[in-house]
Structure 1
Amino acid sequence: MLQDERLEAILLYLKDHERITIETVCEINNVSKDTARRYLIKLEELGKVVRIRGGAKKLSYSNELYDYSQRLHMSSTVKDRIGEYAATLIKDGESLILDASTTVQCAAKYLKTNNHTVITNSINVVNELVRKDRIKINILGGTLDPQHQAIYGSRAIKDIQQYKVDKCIIGTCGISEEGISTSIEEEGLLLREMIMRSQQTILLADSTKFNKLFFQKVCGLELIDTLITNEKLPSNLKKELSRHSVEVIDITDHSLSPQIKK
């Protein structure tokens, strides 16, 4: 049996079981314990399993729910740096969609260009932009979610469908080989519409989002143009993003004065 077939045998076992032991890996693949451990390490690198003492368990969907203030303070320095870099990619006069991500709020804070029309569903993004000159702000209609300081619902989706913009800047709860996802169904539906209404989509995601999969899928990786992050990507994500021609910007490798293509 080839290695890929043996890895698949492990994943098939985990479809019907919560976890698998080293001994079971040895039995179903007829290999030594050292080889079994290497297989589990490989599957973890691929984002397929989580290794535990004595074996591994299946990768389950994340259900983390935090309110806006909690999210704002999680990895706050990293989010600030990602947002600051993202702001340097915006040129004067561009029309923008900004979502309700805390990292996108940081991008709004550092925005120094002018003559923008900005469409957003975020109360906090509005608060950042209202202090700046020569920026027109269009707020989506709908129902305010006070926990996340964002506007969602069918009205917001209907509103966003009326626009076509140069760039869409969004965050995510998780990015995996399957795409980007969120724990809030209404947010996922709105984010997908935001992406469909833009010429270019820029995703802001710190390393805590790598290989995480949440309840509501937003889109596949093929709809993302640029990813801005703060660490080297896991090998499986790097491969998939490259396959879909996604530009990956690791802020640790860049200054805050990128050469903007005209």
Structure 2
Amino acid sequence: MIQEAISLYLEKQGHTLLSPRAVLFDMDGVLFDSMPFHARAWKEVANEHHLISTLEDFYLFEGRTGASTINVLFRRTFGREATEEEKREIYHQKSVRFHTYNNGNPMPGAAEVIAKVKEYALLPVLVTGSGQRKLIDKLQESYPNTFTVDKMVTGDSVKYGKPHPEPYLIGLEKANAAANEAFVIENAPLGVESAVKAGIFTIAVNTGPLPDKVLLDAGAHLLYPNMESLAKDWDNILKEIKNQKG
């Protein structure tokens, strides 16, 4: 399965080898088990503003900037874009609720994946659509000496959020890596789409409630049910990469 995924990636992208030097991590749903709290906060605030939504929407929208998510809901409900004031107010209300609910727990298995990344001397880079500073600041506490500020792409760093490739293209720049010199680890369909559009080998971990098919249809090259299973298979992935014939 791994070898086939690598071969298909190389054929489609026109590369000879997959030679990873960096791993680009999404944050919510990958490093932190925070998506249920994001979805709850978004849904409650959307209801209060009479915006048409389902709880599943916010898993499907994951990776968008807050302003983009609000605009999607306004277009669906009212047939117009949200004003700047509406976007600021709604996102503020959502952020307050999220911080009230969120427990900040690391995603099970994420520390083991990071340990493997360090074992293979790969550079970790954060690429998140989040602008939630409290959660980003918690990275040092949960994953000490792993993510440095100069190796982070946040929702405040980009003009276009996921599924646009810009976040992961900036991530490659920060890693000083070409597309075939990196992995992406993502849990959200829009994030997978963003990474694939950027030409990067993308590993999806289905840590949420969406069907596997959603992540595969978005273009994921490999799919795991959680971070723990990815950690257990990491050596096999790197072994198959080492066995490539360029």
TM-score over 0.5 for the pair: no
Specify the TM-score bucket, using the shorter chain as the normaliser: under 0.3
Q: Whose radius of gyration is greater, 1 or 2?
A: 1
Report which of the two has the higher share of helix: 2
Q: Which structure: greater strand fraction?
A: 1
Per chain length, whose mean CA-contact separation is higher, i.e. which structure has more relative contact order (CA < 8 Å, sep 6+)?
2
What TM-score do you get using the length of structure 2 for normalisation? 0.28
